[in-house]
Amino acid sequence: MTIILSTLNARYTHASLGLRYLQANMGDLQSQTEIMEFVIGGKTTEFAERLLAKNPQIIGFGVYIWNVEETARLVALIKRVAPQVKIILGGPEVSYETTEQAIVKDADFVVTGWGEVTLPDLCRQILHGPQPLMKIHVGVQAKLDDLQLPYSLYTDDDIKNRTLYVEASRGCPFKCEFCLSALDKTAWPFELERFLAEMETLYQRGARLFKFVDRTFNLNIKTSLRIMQFFLDKIAAHPNDPVFAHFEVVPDHLPEALKAGIMQFPAGSLQFEIGIQSFNPAVQTLVSRKQNNEKAAENIRWLVENSHAHMHVDLIAGLPGETVESFGVGFDQLYALKPHEIQFGILKRLRGTPIIRHTAEFAMVYDPFPPYTILANRDIDFTTMQRLVRFARYWDLVANSGRFANTLPALLGDAPFANFMAFADWLYASTDATHRIALDRLAKMVALWLQTQGMSAVAASALLESDYAGKQHKPKAATETVAPSRQAQHLHA
């Protein structure tokens, strides 16, 4: 192949929508273009060997926050062993603060922003002349109706084994300063009938899991209802052939027509990702986030009580002006609404985002290496921020995993944030671990913590047993009592 389009995905199950858009719009170069995807964590030399085995003249890499360090090593290696191969970079990580990055210095060219028009033109210049004079090329934003849609480039293997990412619109009208979408002027919809025809083709090919990457799925209710009806029709026609759709929705915009449609989805067919981020009005104002908190809470409560949708709701710790105490108040408020998952995120300074304007006033200190996580700010020191990081990790293991559904309320009591923070501090002091905690060990530690809080060993064991009733694998802590260790007694005291 003359041209290879490549990226390093976070997981094998993530199929790159961006690469497929680029290949679909390569025009006369499409027959000479191939996609090669890898997964982070592999050997750089093996990636390079497989790429160069195709004897390409051009390799284009999609660069993201999760793969920039590994991609930088891969680019550097390729330029040493095959300097004749032209390397083109694209993607959000190299679209801003571009010239200061080491990976850019090693590459031959960079396309910032949209790539569907600019990348093919750049490749034609490289292959046929005249040779491009500039290293950095600002991507031309095409009209969506002029773009070739990429969905036919999902292979049968993709459809069978991977998440299919789709988009009915691009962009976002909101200006939340921690998000790259703050740089968009608005949201642009794809022509709906054309989009739904592509979804129909995917469905007929066997696709059953659709993850929409639209930032604001419920912005245009008429469009939202049409798309939802597409899936409802499939469910009605084939009730024993389940379909699953994931949407990101605006929390304070849920009119009655949309509620009526949502109520028709059976369990296991619909998931909503809802970005609350903060319930603190002062913080929301600082980061230019417009949100009716009362309406958002009302809508989440309604969804939990009246629909079968799985609710995944996001909060961000470390925003300017947010103290641990105010974050805890927001966390407790969200927990009381009973979403299925609370995604506890730590603020990251994505390249190009306006959040940087608060750096001096709020003493925002970020990790200089990806994913650029905040380390400290004016209101939260480094040590406390690390406690929050551990809270987030343990929350995933205990709460979001769904393995401790009956035990979790006893663990959290009437002060969820404070009580889980105390548990997280104790668990870290007791294990010195945040990753690779085996389920048996985690269950035993949960039982032990409950005992340090006054619950009997028998009651703690029975509670954990109830979480695993009827399941094949039961953690040992669910079938035996646990005596408090000397260290645990000392910590509790």
Alpha helices in 179-267 (DSSP H): 192-204, 221-237, 256-262
pLDDT of amino acid 471: 66
Q: Select from 109, 142, 175 the last residue of a domain.
A: 142
Task: Give the phi and the psi of residue 403 in degrees, each rounded to 5.
Answer: -80, -15
In a domain, 343, yes or no: yes
394 within domain boundaries: no
Q: Does residue 36 fall inside a structural domain?
A: yes
Same domain membership, residue 12 and residue 113: yes
CATH number of the domain to which 285 belongs = 3.20.20.70
- Strands, E assignment, 149-298: 164-166, 169-171, 187-189, 209-212, 244-249, 270-277
User: 113: domain CATH number?
Assistant: 3.40.50.280
Place of tokens 């003359």: 2
Instruction: Let me know whether 113 and 182 are in one domain.
Output: no
Same domain as 169, residue 137:
no
Look up residue 478 and give its amino acid.
Answer: A
Q: Which residues contact 252 (CB under 8 A, 6 or more apart)?
A: 291, 292, 293, 295, 296, 299
Cβ-based burial of 320 (10 A; exposed 0-12, middle 13-18, buried ≥19): buried
- Residue 345's domain comprises 163-355
Task: Mark whether 90 and 215 lie in a shared domain.
Answer: no
State pLDDT tens for residues 33-72.
Answer: 999 999 999 999 999 999 999 999 999 999 999 999 999 9
Contact criterion met (CB below 8 Å) for 352 and 96:
yes
Is 393 among the domain residues? no
**What residues does 37 pair with on adjacent strands?**
7
* 217 shares a domain with 132: no
User: pLDDT tens-digit profile of 197-245?
Assistant: 999 999 999 999 999 999 888 889 999 999 999 999 999 999 999 999 9
Same domain, 322 and 419: no
Q: Could you tell me if 187 and 215 are in contact, meaning their C-beta atoms sit under 8 angstroms apart?
A: yes
Side-chain half-sphere of 309: how many Cα atoms within 13 Å? 31
- Asked if the structure places residue 150 within a domain, the reply is no
Instruction: Name residue, tokens 């084994």.
Output: 161
Exposure pattern of 69-104 as b/e (b: 16+ CB <10 Å)? bbbbbbbbbbbeeeeebbbbbbbbbbbeebeebebb
Q: Do residues 95 and 215 both lie within one domain?
A: no
CB–CB of 321/357 below 8 Å?
A: no
Residue 484, pLDDT score: 36
Residues 249 and 338 occupy one common structural domain:
yes
On whether both 130 and 243 belong to a single domain, the answer is: no
Domain-embedded: residue 291: yes
Domain identity same for 182 and 306: yes
**What pLDDT is attached to residue 476?**
58
Per residue of the chain (493 residues), give pLDDT as tens.
Answer: 799 999 999 999 999 999 999 999 999 999 999 999 999 999 999 999 999 999 999 999 999 999 999 999 999 999 999 999 999 999 999 999 999 999 999 999 999 999 999 999 999 999 999 999 999 999 999 999 999 999 999 999 999 999 999 999 999 888 999 998 888 888 899 999 999 999 999 999 999 999 999 988 888 999 999 999 999 999 999 999 999 999 999 989 999 999 999 999 999 999 999 999 999 999 999 999 999 999 999 999 999 999 999 999 999 999 999 999 999 999 999 999 999 999 999 999 999 999 999 999 999 999 999 999 999 999 999 999 999 999 999 999 999 999 999 999 999 999 999 999 999 999 999 999 998 899 999 999 999 999 999 999 999 999 999 998 756 566 655 444 333 333 333 333 2
Q: Is residue 25 part of a domain?
A: yes
Residues 126 and 257 in one domain: no
Q: Considering its fold, how many domains does the chain have in total? A: 3
Tokens of 266: 């059976």
Residues 171 and 120 in one domain: no
